[in-house]
Structure 1
C-alpha cells in the first residue's frame, strides 16, 4: 500500500483544492495514470499514480482544501479472484462490496447532520459541528470561496443563541438573500477566481492608482501588416499580430521611463533593468497573465510565437508557475471583446499596465481643412502614483503612441 500525497508546487503555494477525481474509489490504476486534478490560485496540476494497484481509499473529496504533503488517497495491491472450485470464507464480491461500503463512507465522509449535507466545509469543521450539535447550514463562512472552517464553527458557538422556546410554525421562506419566486444559481467561487478577486481588491486598496488616456492612429501598423502578413506567416509560421508591435513599443517607452518598470518594496523602489512583459489572457477560470521573458531581446516573430504558446497553455490549464512569475509590466487587450475604453487594474506588485482597445474608424483632422476616417484605438495607462508622477505617465503613453504610429522606430527603440 502507498499513500498519494499533494506534491510540492513552488515556494509561493502551500495549499490547493481538489477540483476533480478522475478515477473512483476501487478502480484499478497503473503507474502514471492521472488520479486527480488539483487547483491552486495560479495553476492546475495533475496528480498521478506512482505504482500499479487499486485506489483503495479516497480521503479528501472534490472541493476540499488540502495542504502540501497531505495524504489524499491510498493505493493498495491488486487482488486476484479465487481459484475455480475453491471454497472461500470471504463474502461474494457483491456482498463484500456492500459490507465494506458503510465503513468506507464513514472514513471518507463525515456523518451528515440535518441540513448540513450540501454545505461546503472542511473535515475538521464537520467533526466539531457534530460534537457540538451545530447545523452547518447556519454557520457563516469567512473563507473567500465559501468553505466553512473549524474557526467559523467556533465563532458560531460564541454568538448568542436563539431562545429554546418553541416557535410558532411559519411558512417556508426562500433562502436569503435570493428574491422569493425568482430563479437563481448559487455556486462557490473557484480557488483561482477567489484569488483573482482578492488580488484586484488588494491592488486597489494599496496602490494610489490613476489612469491616463490617449489614442493611436493605427494606419501605419495596419499598412505594414497588410503588406507583410503573408510573407511573415510563410517565413515564421506564425501570424503577424498587433501584440508584437505593442510589446516592442512598451519596451521602448519603459527604457525612457524606468520607474514604470519598477516596484515598491517597503520604503525602497526596485527598478528592474530587464523587460519581462505580462500578456493578459482570458481563460475559463478567469484572467491570467503569462510572461514573455526578455522581450527587449526578441524579434517580432519570437514575441508572437511566445504569446500564441502561452495563450494556448492558459486556455488548456497547462501553464506552469514559471510562466506566470516575475513580470515587470503588463499589457491587456480588451479590444478583442469589443471594449472601446476601460481603466485596467494594476497587476501588483507592478506599477504600470497598458490597456489596448477596439480599433474603430473615426474622422480625424489631417489639417485645418481636411479630415479622414482613420483606424483609431484608445489606449489607457494605469499607474501607481506613489512612485510614478503624472507627467511621466502621460509622456510614457505619448511615447508608446509615437512608436506605434511610426513602426520603423520600433526596430531602433524596442
Structure 2
C-alpha cells in the first residue's frame, strides 16, 4: 500500500483545496500520473501518484481543504489493473467510498498534527513575537504569499485589542450572521473560491497597513496611436506579435522608476529596501479573479520581447497554468481597467509594493491646443496609487508627469530605455 500526500509546494503555501479528482477508486495510475487538481491561493497544482497501482481510497472530497503532508489517497501497489472498484457502483459520490472511521483515524490524527504547524515567518519575526508574547497565528502579513516578517509583528503589537475585557472572544465561534436580504425573495448563495478569498483578504490588508494615496493625470495618446498605426503591420510581420499599449507603458514606467527609485521599493520594519532591478507586474483578469504575473528585467527587454512576454503570461493565467515563480517578486504593478471601459479608478496597491499605475479607456475629448484652438484628442486618464509612508506628493506627481511626457513623445523612450 502507498499513500499519496500533498507535497511541499512553496515556503509560504501550507494548504489548498481539492478542486477536482482526476481519478476514482478502482482506476489504475502510473507513477507520476496526475490524480487530482489542487487550488492554492495563487495557482492550481496537479498532484501526482508516487507509485504505480490501483487507487483503493480517496480520503477527501472535492472542495475539501488539505494541508501539506496530508494523505489524500491510498494506492495498492500489489493490485492489478483489472482490480474492480472498491465501491459496487462507480457512480457513487466520493464520500460513500470513504474508509471506515477506524481506518480514517490515523489520517485524521495526522491532519490534526499538521494543522498545528507554526505559521511561515522569518526568524526575526519569531524572535520578536516571543519577546512580546504574540501568537503568530494572529498576525496578518503584508506579504501577498503569507510570510510573516518582523514589521508585521510590530504592526500587530501596535494595534488595539479587538475585543474588550468585558466581552472576551470565544475561540472557534463566529458572530451570528445578520441577513441583509428578504428571505422570501430568490437569492443565490455561492462559496467564494480560495483564490477569491485570498484576493479579498490581501486587498483589505493593504488598505489597513499602507498609507495609500492616489494622484491623477491625463495623457494625450495621439503620438503613440499614430506611431502604432504606422508601424503595427511591419512590427507584426517581423516579431509575430502585435504592438500594443502595454509595451509603451512598461517602458515609460521603467524610465520613471529610474528617476524616482522610491516607487520601486518596499518597507520592511524601519528600513526601506530600494530595488535596483525592474520586474514589472501586469494585472490580468481571469474567470477566477485577478492575478499579477511578472515581466522579469523589463528594463533589458525591447518592445517585442515585452509584448511577447505579456501575451505568454496572460495566456497562462487564463489557462490556469501560471507557476508560483510567474507571480512572485514584482517591484511595481501596472493595471489596465481601460480594456473593460473604465474611465477612471483608484487602483489598490499590490503589497508589499509601494506603487501601482492604473491605465484607463482612451476617449476623444476636446483639448485646448492654445488660446485660439480646440481639438478633439484621444485622451487617457492615468492614476498612480502609492504608499505615502515613504513617497511624498512631489515624487508621486513627478513620476506620473514623467510617464506622461514619455508617452506624449514616444521617441524619447528609445533614449530612456
Coarse TM-score class (shorter-chain normalised): 0.7 to 0.9
Q: Which residue of 1 aligns with 2:115?
A: none
Partners of 1:59 and 1:107 within 8 A in 2: no
Change (3 A) 1:109 1:42: farther
Q: Which residue of 1 aligns with 2:249?
A: 246
1:210 and 2:220 are equivalent in the alignment:
no
TM value normalised by structure 2? 0.78
- Superposed, 1:47-58 pairs within 5 Å as 47-58=47-58
What is the Cα deviation at residue 105 of structure 1? 5.3
Counterpart CA distance in 1 for 2:398 and 2:381 is 16
What is the Cα deviation at residue 68 of structure 1? 1.1
Partners of 1:59 and 1:108 within 8 A in 2: no
Count of aligned residue pairs for this structure pair: 353
Counterpart CA distance in 1 for 2:35 and 2:197 is 25
Counterpart CA distance in 1 for 2:260 and 2:350 is 18
Counterpart CA distance in 2 for 1:94 and 1:19 is 25
DSSP-derived class of the 2:218 partner? strand
What is the Cα deviation at residue 27 of structure 1? 2.2
269, 274, 277: which one pairs with 1:274?
A: 277
Q: Which residue of 2 aligns with 1:339?
A: 342
Counterpart CA distance in 1 for 2:225 and 2:102 is 60
Counterpart CA distance in 2 for 1:258 and 1:408 is 23
Partners of 1:244 and 1:303 within 8 A in 2: yes
Counterpart CA distance in 2 for 1:380 and 1:104 is 53
DSSP-derived class of the 1:56 partner? strand
Structure 1 unaligned segments of length 5 or more: list them: 83-89, 111-122, 125-141, 143-151, 160-174
Q: Which residue of 1 aligns with 2:13?
A: 13
Structure 2 unaligned segments of length 5 or more: list them: 105-110, 113-137, 139-168
Partners of 2:6 and 2:68 within 8 A in 1: yes
Counterpart CA distance in 2 for 1:8 and 1:257 is 39
Change (3 A) 1:109 1:282: farther
Partners of 1:58 and 1:108 within 8 A in 2: no
Q: Which residue of 1 aligns with 2:66?
A: 66
Partners of 1:217 and 1:405 within 8 A in 2: yes
Once the two structures are overlaid, the 10-residue window that deviates more, 7-16 or 226-235, is 7-16
303, 307, 312: which one pairs with 1:309?
A: 312
Partners of 2:2 and 2:75 within 8 A in 1: yes
- Superposed, 1:245-264 pairs within 5 Å as 245-264=248-267
DSSP-derived class of the 2:389 partner? coil
TM value normalised by structure 1? 0.79
Q: Which residue of 2 aligns with 1:221?
A: 224
Change (3 A) 1:109 1:317: farther
Q: Which residue of 2 aligns with 1:135?
A: none
What is the Cα deviation at residue 51 of structure 1? 3.2
Counterpart CA distance in 1 for 2:227 and 2:96 is 70
Partners of 1:43 and 1:320 within 8 A in 2: yes
Q: Which residue of 1 aligns with 2:295?
A: 292
DSSP-derived class of the 2:315 partner? helix
1:409 and 2:412 are equivalent in the alignment:
yes
Change (3 A) 1:50 1:230: same
Partners of 2:57 and 2:99 within 8 A in 1: no
Q: Which residue of 2 aligns with 1:386?
A: 389
233, 238, 249: which one pairs with 1:235?
A: 238
DSSP-derived class of the 1:407 partner? coil
Larger Rg: 1
Q: Which residue of 1 aligns with 2:108?
A: none
C-alpha deviations, 1:128-183, integer Å up to 9, x for none?
xxxxxxxxxxxxxx9xxxxxxxxx99645x99xxxxxxxxxxxxxxx945422211
Counterpart CA distance in 1 for 2:82 and 2:412 is 75
Counterpart CA distance in 2 for 1:105 and 1:224 is 66
Counterpart CA distance in 1 for 2:406 and 2:373 is 24
CA RMSD of aligned residues (A): 3.1
Partners of 1:335 and 1:358 within 8 A in 2: yes
C-alpha deviations, 1:40-73, integer Å up to 9, x for none?
1111101122333211111122222211121111
